[in-house]
Amino acid sequence: MEQAHSFFSFPYCSIPLDSAIEILLAHSAGPQGSSGVSLLEALSRIAGKDLHARIDLPPFDNSPLDGFALRHSDSAGASKEKPVLLRVVETIYAGDLPRKALSRGECARVMTGAPLPPGATCVIPFEDTDNQPHTVGLFHPLEAHQNYRFHGEDVRQGQGILRQGERISGAHLGLLAAQGFTEVPVFARPQVGILSTGTELMSGPEPLSPGKIYDSNRYLLAARVAALGAQPFCSPKIPDDPALIAQALEELLKTCHCVITTGGVSVGAHDYMPQAGSYIGAQPLFRQVQMKPGGWVTALYKDAVIILCLSGNPGAAAMSFDLLAGPLIRHLAGAAVVRPPQLLGVLQDPFSKTSPQNRFLYARQEGRDVFLPRTGFGSGLLSSLIGCNCIVHIPAGSPALHPGDTVELIPLSA
């Protein structure tokens, strides 16, 4: 191995968050192939291809309500005192076809969704007429195309209805079904390996030994992987031993499209993650990112797979996951938009610290309002993450913040 690539000589310089994301995306393979799945299976998956409308929606001019279809010119001059009388020539139900065109003085009884007969230019609801069986009285004039639903007014044949890389929603499913689609091409879900490291880690239900803690990061991160639409694959936890960590990484690299680890990334004597990366011949991409918390992040690269090594502190691990692994996993999943948008919200709580560096806080957005956790912000605190649905970004150099201040926020995947 070249000395230039050794972890021991790899500089600890901290790179900007945007550069770190760019490096991850530049080294990541992108989505695997796409395949067709049934409509309901496609929910929340990433579209593998562009789809275009096969037909106009609605497919034909139709009535938006229960009433009488007529030629609007026939209603000219109608009033309470001088009703216009029209002859009802047929009744058209939804699913029917009109049997005849409307001539002057004629109308058709039409139900919601029924095709409009040739000649009809508007529809009047039953309740605005005297609703008689054979001859119906109108009491006011109608305009051309009043209560008239045009074919293609919702969707035009050939129009794009699903873009490759879009996350498929229930509304998409409705639209695809309305077009007669029964299958949707979706990208394969990336498999994301998760490895918790640390001699201090135990797992329930074993009783906790003194000096040990239960591993929580594996679940915190697996849930986030799942929320991004990827498949979490959890390795057994590994003590602080670079050879054992290297072995676990090799195992995960066999099947995973990216690997997320926690623990062992800082400057402690047992922070073995960079060394384990060196054992397996992985290329270091960066070791520190200009963000707080979660700035200690080691990115390794081997066999076209990124190994992103996060802090062992749950809050720090979650933050670097959301800001760095999130874009990477969205990219692997084929999402067209991989970076979360930066939106604006109105802070409802004070934040008394100044922010000499780029700072991120978990928070709860409710409408335009943004609330900070009441339990504080230590990077070891798990309880403060409960209920949070966004991240507030406080740019480097910001002063303390006050209720009413406008803040940048990044929504979290549900």
- Name residues contacting a copy of itself, limited to 315-334 (CB under 8 A): 318
From candidates 73, 146, 203, 354, binder to a copy of itself by CB under 8 A: 203
- Name residues contacting a copy of itself, limited to 72-101 (CB under 8 A): 91, 93-97
Q: Select 126 or 279, whichever has its Cβ closest to a copy of itself.
A: 126
Q: Which residue has the tokens 């934040």?
A: 351
Q: Total residues at the site for a copy of itself (CB under 8 A)?
A: 110
Q: Where are the beta strands (DSSP E) in 263-373?
A: 283-289, 296-302, 305-310, 343-347, 359-366, 369-371
Residue 336 touching a copy of itself (CB under 8 A): no
Residue 377 touching a copy of itself (CB under 8 A): no
Which of 55, 40, 83 lies closest to 183, judged by CA?
40
Residue 122 touching a copy of itself (CB under 8 A): no
Which of 286, 231, 282, 278 lies closest to 257, judged by CA?
231
Q: Is the dihedral of CA 259, 260, 262, 266 positive or negative?
A: positive
Q: Among 24-32, 61-69, 185-193, 245-253, which window interacts with a copy of itself (CB under 8 A)?
A: 61-69
Strand partners, 262: 196, 310
- Name residues contacting a copy of itself, limited to 237-296 (CB under 8 A): 239-240, 266-271
Let me know: does 137 contact 80? Beta carbons within 8 Å.
no
Site string for a copy of itself, 14-33 (x = CB under 8 A): --------------------
Q: Select 60 or 139, whichever has its Cβ closest to a copy of itself.
A: 60
| Least distance (Å) between residue 67 CB and a copy of itself | 9
Q: Select 247 or 379, whichever has its Cβ closest to a copy of itself.
A: 379
- Within 13 A of 268's CA, how many CA atoms are on the CB side? 13
Cis peptide before 205 (omega within 30 of 0): yes
- Name residues contacting a copy of itself, limited to 102-121 (CB under 8 A): 109, 111-115
